Chain A
Amino acid sequence: MKRKIEFATIVEAVKKCCIEGTKVLPQDVYLKLEEAEKNETNSLAKDFLRQCILNADIARNEAMPICQDTGFAVYFIEIGQDVEIIGGTLTEAINEGTRQGYKEGYLRKSIVTDPLFERKNTRDNTPAVIHYDLIAGDKLKITFAPKGGGSENMSGVKMLKPSDGRAGVVDFVVNTVVNASGNPCPPTIVGVGIGGTFEKCAFLAKKALLRKVGEKNPNPLYAELEEEILNKINQSQVGPQGLGGDTTALAVHIEYYPCHIASMPLAVNLNCHAARHYEVEL
Protein backbone atom coordinates (compact mmCIF):
# COMPACT_ATOMS: atom_id res chain seq x y z
CA MET A 1 0.00 0.00 0.00
CA LYS A 2 1.53 3.30 -1.10
CA ARG A 3 1.29 6.40 1.06
CA LYS A 4 0.22 9.31 -1.11
CA ILE A 5 1.78 12.77 -0.69
CA GLU A 6 0.42 15.69 -2.69
CA PHE A 7 2.71 17.76 -4.91
CA ALA A 8 1.42 20.97 -3.25
CA THR A 9 2.27 19.67 0.23
CA ILE A 10 5.88 19.20 -0.83
CA VAL A 11 6.02 22.65 -2.44
CA GLU A 12 4.82 24.21 0.83
CA ALA A 13 7.35 22.23 2.89
CA VAL A 14 10.23 23.21 0.62
CA LYS A 15 9.16 26.84 0.67
CA LYS A 16 9.23 26.78 4.47
CA CYS A 17 12.72 25.23 4.42
CA CYS A 18 14.02 28.09 2.25
CA ILE A 19 12.44 30.89 4.25
CA GLU A 20 13.22 29.57 7.73
CA GLY A 21 16.47 27.83 6.91
CA THR A 22 18.20 30.99 5.66
CA LYS A 23 17.21 33.11 8.66
CA VAL A 24 17.80 30.98 11.73
CA LEU A 25 21.30 29.84 12.63
CA PRO A 26 21.05 26.29 14.04
CA GLN A 27 21.50 26.23 17.84
CA ASP A 28 24.55 23.95 17.71
CA VAL A 29 26.41 26.42 15.47
CA TYR A 30 25.35 29.36 17.63
CA LEU A 31 26.62 27.70 20.81
CA LYS A 32 29.89 26.77 19.13
CA LEU A 33 30.43 30.40 18.07
CA GLU A 34 29.80 31.54 21.65
CA GLU A 35 32.33 29.01 22.92
CA ALA A 36 34.88 30.15 20.32
CA GLU A 37 34.35 33.81 21.24
CA LYS A 38 34.97 33.02 24.89
CA ASN A 39 38.21 31.13 24.17
CA GLU A 40 39.62 33.44 21.47
CA THR A 41 42.72 35.37 22.60
CA ASN A 42 43.14 37.73 19.62
CA SER A 43 41.12 40.92 20.21
CA LEU A 44 40.26 41.61 16.54
CA ALA A 45 39.23 37.96 16.11
CA LYS A 46 37.08 38.21 19.23
CA ASP A 47 35.38 41.26 17.72
CA PHE A 48 34.61 39.36 14.50
CA LEU A 49 33.16 36.43 16.45
CA ARG A 50 31.00 38.82 18.48
CA GLN A 51 29.74 40.31 15.22
CA CYS A 52 28.84 36.82 13.95
CA ILE A 53 26.81 36.12 17.10
CA LEU A 54 25.13 39.53 17.03
CA ASN A 55 24.40 39.01 13.34
CA ALA A 56 22.62 35.72 14.09
CA ASP A 57 20.52 37.50 16.75
CA ILE A 58 19.54 40.29 14.37
CA ALA A 59 18.70 37.79 11.62
CA ARG A 60 16.44 35.78 13.92
CA ASN A 61 14.74 38.77 15.55
CA GLU A 62 14.13 40.66 12.34
CA ALA A 63 13.54 37.69 10.04
CA MET A 64 16.45 38.65 7.79
CA PRO A 65 18.81 36.22 6.05
CA ILE A 66 21.89 35.49 8.20
CA CYS A 67 24.01 36.04 5.11
CA GLN A 68 23.13 37.77 1.86
CA ASP A 69 24.46 34.75 0.01
CA THR A 70 21.38 32.60 0.48
CA GLY A 71 23.18 30.07 -1.61
CA PHE A 72 22.68 27.37 -4.10
CA ALA A 73 19.58 25.52 -2.87
CA VAL A 74 20.99 22.09 -2.03
CA TYR A 75 18.66 19.35 -0.78
CA PHE A 76 19.28 15.94 0.73
CA ILE A 77 16.14 13.88 0.27
CA GLU A 78 15.31 10.61 1.97
CA ILE A 79 12.27 9.08 0.36
CA GLY A 80 10.62 5.91 1.57
CA GLN A 81 9.91 3.28 -1.11
CA ASP A 82 6.26 3.29 -0.10
CA VAL A 83 5.69 6.96 -0.93
CA GLU A 84 3.81 8.00 -4.04
CA ILE A 85 3.82 11.64 -5.14
CA ILE A 86 0.50 12.82 -6.57
CA GLY A 87 0.31 15.62 -9.12
CA GLY A 88 3.89 15.89 -10.38
CA THR A 89 7.43 14.73 -9.78
CA LEU A 90 9.41 15.27 -6.59
CA THR A 91 12.09 17.18 -8.51
CA GLU A 92 9.49 19.58 -9.92
CA ALA A 93 7.99 20.07 -6.48
CA ILE A 94 11.38 20.91 -4.96
CA ASN A 95 12.17 23.42 -7.70
CA GLU A 96 8.74 25.01 -7.40
CA GLY A 97 9.12 25.29 -3.60
CA THR A 98 12.56 26.84 -4.10
CA ARG A 99 11.18 29.35 -6.60
CA GLN A 100 8.38 30.42 -4.25
CA GLY A 101 10.55 30.39 -1.13
CA TYR A 102 13.31 32.57 -2.59
CA LYS A 103 10.73 35.03 -3.93
CA GLU A 104 8.48 35.28 -0.88
CA GLY A 105 11.38 35.19 1.57
CA TYR A 106 13.21 38.09 -0.13
CA LEU A 107 16.21 35.83 -0.61
CA ARG A 108 18.99 36.51 -3.09
CA LYS A 109 18.85 34.80 -6.46
CA SER A 110 22.37 33.61 -7.16
CA ILE A 111 22.10 31.07 -9.98
CA VAL A 112 23.14 31.74 -13.59
CA THR A 113 21.88 29.81 -16.61
CA ASP A 114 25.14 28.37 -17.88
CA PRO A 115 28.52 28.46 -16.16
CA LEU A 116 30.78 29.58 -18.98
CA PHE A 117 29.10 31.64 -21.67
CA GLU A 118 25.94 33.60 -20.98
CA ARG A 119 25.90 33.51 -17.16
CA LYS A 120 22.44 35.06 -17.13
CA ASN A 121 20.68 35.06 -13.75
CA THR A 122 17.73 32.65 -13.68
CA ARG A 123 16.02 35.15 -11.34
CA ASP A 124 14.35 32.50 -9.19
CA ASN A 125 17.36 30.62 -7.78
CA THR A 126 16.46 27.43 -9.62
CA PRO A 127 17.45 24.81 -10.50
CA ALA A 128 18.23 23.26 -7.13
CA VAL A 129 20.88 20.61 -6.54
CA ILE A 130 19.09 17.53 -5.19
CA HIS A 131 20.57 14.35 -3.72
CA TYR A 132 18.13 11.45 -3.41
CA ASP A 133 18.35 8.49 -1.12
CA LEU A 134 15.74 5.77 -1.48
CA ILE A 135 15.04 4.15 1.88
CA ALA A 136 12.54 1.78 3.50
CA GLY A 137 9.21 3.07 4.79
CA ASP A 138 6.64 5.69 3.85
CA LYS A 139 8.23 8.94 5.01
CA LEU A 140 9.72 11.80 3.03
CA LYS A 141 12.51 13.75 4.75
CA ILE A 142 13.72 16.98 3.18
CA THR A 143 16.96 18.57 4.40
CA PHE A 144 17.69 22.00 2.97
CA ALA A 145 21.36 23.05 3.11
CA PRO A 146 21.82 26.34 1.23
CA LYS A 147 25.44 26.68 0.14
CA GLY A 148 27.24 29.97 -0.29
CA GLY A 149 29.68 30.52 -3.14
CA GLY A 150 32.57 31.90 -1.09
CA SER A 151 33.09 28.76 0.94
CA GLU A 152 32.16 26.38 -1.89
CA ASN A 153 34.89 27.90 -4.09
CA MET A 154 37.57 26.89 -1.59
CA SER A 155 36.75 23.16 -1.75
CA GLY A 156 39.17 20.59 -3.07
CA VAL A 157 39.39 17.00 -4.30
CA LYS A 158 42.53 14.88 -4.51
CA MET A 159 42.90 11.31 -5.66
CA LEU A 160 45.47 10.16 -3.10
CA LYS A 161 47.46 6.95 -3.35
CA PRO A 162 46.75 4.42 -0.60
CA SER A 163 50.42 4.79 0.42
CA ASP A 164 49.84 8.50 1.18
CA GLY A 165 48.09 7.23 4.29
CA ARG A 166 46.96 9.22 7.28
CA ALA A 167 49.66 11.89 6.85
CA GLY A 168 48.57 12.51 3.25
CA VAL A 169 45.01 13.10 4.40
CA VAL A 170 46.05 15.46 7.20
CA ASP A 171 48.31 17.49 4.87
CA PHE A 172 45.76 17.95 2.12
CA VAL A 173 42.90 18.92 4.44
CA VAL A 174 45.00 21.33 6.53
CA ASN A 175 46.55 22.94 3.43
CA THR A 176 43.18 23.34 1.76
CA VAL A 177 41.81 25.20 4.78
CA VAL A 178 44.93 27.30 5.41
CA ASN A 179 45.32 28.29 1.74
CA ALA A 180 41.64 29.31 1.64
CA SER A 181 42.62 32.01 4.18
CA GLY A 182 39.76 34.49 4.72
CA ASN A 183 37.83 33.62 1.56
CA PRO A 184 35.41 31.00 2.93
CA CYS A 185 34.37 33.22 5.89
CA PRO A 186 36.20 31.43 8.69
CA PRO A 187 35.62 30.10 11.25
CA THR A 188 34.53 27.29 8.96
CA ILE A 189 33.12 23.84 9.39
CA VAL A 190 35.33 21.45 7.45
CA GLY A 191 33.57 18.56 5.70
CA VAL A 192 35.86 15.71 4.63
CA GLY A 193 34.96 12.71 2.48
CA ILE A 194 37.39 9.80 2.22
CA GLY A 195 36.93 6.75 0.01
CA GLY A 196 34.38 5.75 -2.60
CA THR A 197 34.97 7.20 -6.05
CA PHE A 198 35.79 10.69 -7.35
CA GLU A 199 32.18 11.92 -7.05
CA LYS A 200 31.31 9.85 -3.98
CA CYS A 201 34.00 11.44 -1.80
CA ALA A 202 32.83 14.92 -2.81
CA PHE A 203 29.27 13.99 -1.89
CA LEU A 204 30.45 12.63 1.48
CA ALA A 205 32.36 15.85 2.18
CA LYS A 206 29.21 17.85 1.64
CA LYS A 207 27.06 15.45 3.64
CA ALA A 208 29.53 15.67 6.53
CA LEU A 209 28.56 19.33 6.89
CA LEU A 210 25.05 18.31 7.97
CA ARG A 211 26.28 16.70 11.17
CA LYS A 212 25.74 18.67 14.40
CA VAL A 213 28.79 20.88 14.83
CA GLY A 214 31.53 19.09 16.70
CA GLU A 215 29.74 15.74 16.90
CA LYS A 216 32.45 13.13 16.41
CA ASN A 217 32.60 10.30 13.91
CA PRO A 218 31.44 7.14 15.76
CA ASN A 219 34.60 5.31 14.62
CA PRO A 220 37.30 6.29 17.19
CA LEU A 221 40.06 6.21 14.56
CA TYR A 222 38.25 8.81 12.47
CA ALA A 223 37.19 10.76 15.56
CA GLU A 224 40.85 11.06 16.55
CA LEU A 225 41.78 12.14 13.04
CA GLU A 226 39.08 14.83 13.13
CA GLU A 227 40.57 16.19 16.32
CA GLU A 228 44.14 16.16 15.04
CA ILE A 229 43.19 18.00 11.84
CA LEU A 230 41.13 20.57 13.77
CA ASN A 231 44.04 21.29 16.11
CA LYS A 232 46.47 21.70 13.21
CA ILE A 233 44.07 24.03 11.39
CA ASN A 234 43.61 26.20 14.46
CA GLN A 235 47.36 26.33 15.14
CA SER A 236 47.71 28.03 11.74
CA GLN A 237 46.39 31.33 13.19
CA VAL A 238 44.50 32.10 9.97
CA GLY A 239 41.69 33.18 12.28
CA PRO A 240 38.22 34.60 11.70
CA GLN A 241 38.10 36.40 8.33
CA GLY A 242 41.73 35.37 7.74
CA LEU A 243 42.99 38.29 9.83
CA GLY A 244 44.61 36.22 12.57
CA GLY A 245 43.37 34.43 15.67
CA ASP A 246 42.86 31.05 17.30
CA THR A 247 39.54 30.21 15.62
CA THR A 248 39.99 29.15 11.99
CA ALA A 249 37.61 26.18 12.06
CA LEU A 250 34.80 25.27 14.46
CA ALA A 251 34.86 21.56 13.63
CA VAL A 252 36.15 18.89 11.26
CA HIS A 253 33.65 16.22 10.23
CA ILE A 254 34.88 13.17 8.33
CA GLU A 255 32.67 10.70 6.49
CA TYR A 256 34.15 7.62 4.84
CA TYR A 257 33.16 4.84 2.47
CA PRO A 258 34.75 1.63 1.17
CA CYS A 259 37.01 2.18 -1.81
CA HIS A 260 38.83 0.49 -4.69
CA ILE A 261 42.08 -1.37 -3.98
CA ALA A 262 43.95 1.18 -6.14
CA SER A 263 42.48 4.37 -4.67
CA MET A 264 42.06 6.71 -1.76
CA PRO A 265 39.89 9.60 -2.96
CA LEU A 266 39.75 12.62 -0.63
CA ALA A 267 37.47 15.65 -0.77
CA VAL A 268 37.21 18.77 1.38
CA ASN A 269 34.08 20.91 1.37
CA LEU A 270 34.08 24.05 3.50
CA ASN A 271 31.10 25.68 5.11
CA CYS A 272 31.18 29.24 6.43
CA HIS A 273 30.21 30.04 10.03
CA ALA A 274 26.69 30.77 8.73
CA ALA A 275 26.22 26.99 8.52
CA ARG A 276 22.57 26.73 7.69
CA HIS A 277 20.33 23.70 7.40
CA TYR A 278 16.68 22.96 7.96
CA GLU A 279 14.75 19.71 8.01
CA VAL A 280 11.14 18.83 7.37
CA GLU A 281 9.63 15.35 7.53
CA LEU A 282 6.38 14.54 5.76
Chain B
Amino acid sequence: METKIIKLTTPLTADKVQSLKAGDRVAISGVIYTGRDAAHKRLVTALDENRELPCNLQDAIIYFVGPCPAKPNTPIGSAGPTTSGRMDAYSPRLIRDCQLRGMIGKGNRSQAVVDAMTQYGCVYFAATGGAGALIAKSIKKAEIIAYEDLGAEAIYRLEVEDFPAVVAIDSSGKSLYK
Protein backbone atom coordinates (compact mmCIF):
# COMPACT_ATOMS: atom_id res chain seq x y z
CA MET B 1 0.00 0.00 0.00
CA GLU B 2 1.37 3.38 -1.02
CA THR B 3 1.54 5.78 1.92
CA LYS B 4 0.22 9.24 1.22
CA ILE B 5 2.85 11.95 1.43
CA ILE B 6 1.68 15.52 1.95
CA LYS B 7 3.60 18.13 -0.04
CA LEU B 8 4.28 21.19 2.08
CA THR B 9 5.83 24.45 0.94
CA THR B 10 7.19 27.29 3.05
CA PRO B 11 6.16 29.74 4.42
CA LEU B 12 4.32 27.47 6.85
CA THR B 13 1.27 29.58 7.55
CA ALA B 14 -1.10 29.06 10.48
CA ASP B 15 -3.74 27.39 8.32
CA LYS B 16 -1.22 24.85 6.96
CA VAL B 17 -0.15 24.10 10.54
CA GLN B 18 -3.78 23.48 11.57
CA SER B 19 -4.27 20.95 8.78
CA LEU B 20 -1.33 18.73 9.83
CA LYS B 21 -2.00 15.77 12.11
CA ALA B 22 0.37 13.56 14.09
CA GLY B 23 1.45 10.65 11.91
CA ASP B 24 1.19 12.55 8.60
CA ARG B 25 4.18 11.98 6.35
CA VAL B 26 5.34 15.12 4.64
CA ALA B 27 7.79 16.32 1.99
CA ILE B 28 8.87 19.89 2.71
CA SER B 29 10.01 22.31 -0.01
CA GLY B 30 11.15 25.91 0.21
CA VAL B 31 13.37 27.77 2.67
CA ILE B 32 14.15 26.51 6.18
CA TYR B 33 16.68 27.71 8.76
CA THR B 34 19.07 25.63 10.83
CA GLY B 35 19.77 26.08 14.53
CA ARG B 36 21.16 24.07 17.43
CA ASP B 37 21.33 25.02 21.10
CA ALA B 38 24.23 27.49 20.82
CA ALA B 39 22.41 29.44 18.07
CA HIS B 40 19.08 29.25 19.95
CA LYS B 41 20.76 30.73 23.01
CA ARG B 42 21.94 33.68 20.92
CA LEU B 43 18.51 34.16 19.33
CA VAL B 44 16.81 34.28 22.71
CA THR B 45 19.49 36.63 24.07
CA ALA B 46 18.85 38.92 21.07
CA LEU B 47 15.12 38.91 21.89
CA ASP B 48 15.91 39.72 25.53
CA GLU B 49 18.00 42.68 24.43
CA ASN B 50 15.46 43.86 21.80
CA ARG B 51 17.92 43.31 18.99
CA GLU B 52 16.87 42.30 15.49
CA LEU B 53 17.19 38.59 14.71
CA PRO B 54 19.39 37.51 11.77
CA CYS B 55 16.38 35.91 10.08
CA ASN B 56 12.64 36.42 10.10
CA LEU B 57 11.14 33.45 11.92
CA GLN B 58 7.49 34.30 11.29
CA ASP B 59 5.81 31.31 9.58
CA ALA B 60 9.27 29.76 9.36
CA ILE B 61 10.65 26.29 10.09
CA ILE B 62 13.81 25.71 12.12
CA TYR B 63 15.70 22.49 11.46
CA PHE B 64 17.79 21.31 14.43
CA VAL B 65 20.97 20.26 12.61
CA GLY B 66 24.71 20.81 12.54
CA PRO B 67 25.74 19.67 9.06
CA CYS B 68 29.06 18.30 7.87
CA PRO B 69 31.14 20.66 5.71
CA ALA B 70 30.27 20.58 1.99
CA LYS B 71 32.67 18.80 -0.34
CA PRO B 72 33.62 20.80 -3.45
CA ASN B 73 30.68 21.24 -5.87
CA THR B 74 28.06 20.05 -3.38
CA PRO B 75 25.68 22.33 -1.44
CA ILE B 76 26.17 20.66 1.95
CA GLY B 77 27.57 17.61 3.70
CA SER B 78 25.52 15.04 5.63
CA ALA B 79 22.75 16.79 7.50
CA GLY B 80 20.49 14.69 9.74
CA PRO B 81 18.57 15.96 12.78
CA THR B 82 20.02 16.42 16.26
CA THR B 83 18.22 15.75 19.58
CA SER B 84 15.43 18.31 19.90
CA GLY B 85 15.26 18.14 23.69
CA ARG B 86 18.29 20.42 23.94
CA MET B 87 16.24 23.19 22.34
CA ASP B 88 13.30 22.78 24.75
CA ALA B 89 14.57 25.65 26.91
CA TYR B 90 14.39 28.06 23.96
CA SER B 91 11.66 26.89 21.56
CA PRO B 92 8.61 28.23 23.49
CA ARG B 93 10.03 31.74 23.34
CA LEU B 94 10.53 31.61 19.55
CA ILE B 95 7.05 30.15 19.05
CA ARG B 96 5.45 32.88 21.17
CA ASP B 97 7.47 35.95 20.21
CA CYS B 98 8.36 35.18 16.58
CA GLN B 99 5.41 33.03 15.42
CA LEU B 100 7.77 30.19 14.55
CA ARG B 101 5.46 27.60 12.95
CA GLY B 102 7.56 24.51 12.52
CA MET B 103 10.52 22.64 13.99
CA ILE B 104 12.32 19.58 12.61
CA GLY B 105 14.40 17.33 14.84
CA LYS B 106 14.50 13.96 16.54
CA GLY B 107 13.16 12.77 19.89
CA ASN B 108 10.38 13.94 22.20
CA ARG B 109 9.70 17.52 23.37
CA SER B 110 8.92 18.91 26.83
CA GLN B 111 5.41 19.76 27.99
CA ALA B 112 6.31 23.46 27.88
CA VAL B 113 7.12 23.19 24.18
CA VAL B 114 3.91 21.26 23.44
CA ASP B 115 1.91 23.88 25.40
CA ALA B 116 3.43 26.71 23.34
CA MET B 117 2.74 24.75 20.13
CA THR B 118 -0.94 24.33 20.96
CA GLN B 119 -1.38 27.89 22.22
CA TYR B 120 0.30 29.70 19.33
CA GLY B 121 0.05 27.15 16.50
CA CYS B 122 3.23 25.28 15.69
CA VAL B 123 4.06 21.76 14.53
CA TYR B 124 6.97 19.44 15.34
CA PHE B 125 8.33 17.18 12.61
CA ALA B 126 10.63 14.19 13.15
CA ALA B 127 13.25 13.48 10.52
CA THR B 128 15.22 10.23 10.48
CA GLY B 129 18.06 10.53 12.96
CA GLY B 130 21.25 9.10 11.54
CA ALA B 131 20.13 9.43 7.91
CA GLY B 132 22.35 12.43 7.24
CA ALA B 133 23.47 11.41 3.75
CA LEU B 134 19.91 10.66 2.61
CA ILE B 135 18.53 13.94 3.96
CA ALA B 136 21.39 15.95 2.40
CA LYS B 137 20.00 14.89 -0.99
CA SER B 138 16.93 17.06 -0.40
CA ILE B 139 19.02 20.16 0.36
CA LYS B 140 19.68 22.09 -2.84
CA LYS B 141 21.37 25.20 -1.50
CA ALA B 142 22.93 26.23 1.80
CA GLU B 143 24.41 29.49 3.02
CA ILE B 144 25.51 30.62 6.45
CA ILE B 145 23.54 33.69 7.49
CA ALA B 146 24.60 34.14 11.13
CA TYR B 147 26.97 33.11 13.91
CA GLU B 148 29.67 31.73 11.63
CA ASP B 149 32.04 31.55 14.62
CA LEU B 150 29.95 28.64 15.96
CA GLY B 151 31.23 26.37 13.17
CA ALA B 152 28.74 23.55 12.56
CA GLU B 153 26.34 25.35 14.91
CA ALA B 154 26.02 28.48 12.74
CA ILE B 155 22.60 29.38 11.33
CA TYR B 156 22.22 28.30 7.70
CA ARG B 157 19.50 29.22 5.25
CA LEU B 158 18.63 26.04 3.39
CA GLU B 159 16.66 25.62 0.20
CA VAL B 160 15.06 22.20 0.31
CA GLU B 161 13.04 20.02 -2.05
CA ASP B 162 10.89 17.20 -0.72
CA PHE B 163 12.66 17.04 2.63
CA PRO B 164 11.27 13.82 4.22
CA ALA B 165 9.68 14.06 7.67
CA VAL B 166 6.77 12.91 9.82
CA VAL B 167 4.45 15.02 11.97
CA ALA B 168 5.49 13.77 15.41
CA ILE B 169 3.52 16.31 17.50
CA ASP B 170 0.73 18.35 15.92
CA SER B 171 -0.67 21.74 16.91
CA SER B 172 -3.44 20.14 18.96
CA GLY B 173 -0.79 18.48 21.11
CA LYS B 174 -1.35 14.99 19.72
CA SER B 175 1.94 13.11 19.79
CA LEU B 176 3.39 9.91 18.39
CA TYR B 177 5.73 9.63 21.41
CA LYS B 178 4.38 7.61 24.30
Spell out A's residues near B (CB within 8 Å): 43-44, 47-48, 51-52, 54-56, 58-59, 62, 64-70, 106-110, 119, 121, 123, 149-150, 153, 181-183, 185, 237-238, 241-244, 272-274
Contacts and interface: CB of A to CB of B under 8 A. Distances in A.
Q: Secondary structure at chain A's binding surface: helix, strand, loop or mixed?
A: loop
A109 B3 CA distance: 37
Contact of B107 (A106, A107, A119, A181): A181
B85 interface: yes
Interface size class for chain B? 35 or more
Contact of A55 (B67, B107, B128, B176): B128
Interface of B: 3, 23, 25, 38, 65-71, 77-80, 82-83, 85, 106-108, 126, 128-134, 136-137, 150-153, 164, 166, 168, 176-178
A59 B77 CA distance: 10
Contact of A273 (B23, B78, B130): B130
10 contacts: A55-B128, A56-B133, A64-B78, A69-B66, A69-B82, A108-B68, A109-B151, A119-B38, A241-B128, A243-B176
Residue in B65, B128, B152 with the greatest tally of chain A CB atoms within 10 Å = B128
Contact of B133 (A66, A181, A238, A273): A66
Pairs A-B, 9 closest by C-beta atoms: A185-B129, A55-B131, A55-B134, A183-B107, A68-B132, A59-B133, A68-B78, A121-B151, A182-B107
A54 B177 CA distance: 24
B106 A150 contact: yes
Contacts of B128: 48, 51-52, 55, 241
A274 B130 contact: yes
Residue in B69, B134, B178 with the greatest tally of chain A CB atoms within 10 Å = B134
B68 A106 contact: yes
Contacts of A121: 150-153
Nearest to A123: B151
Contacts of A110: 66, 152
Contacts of A119: 38
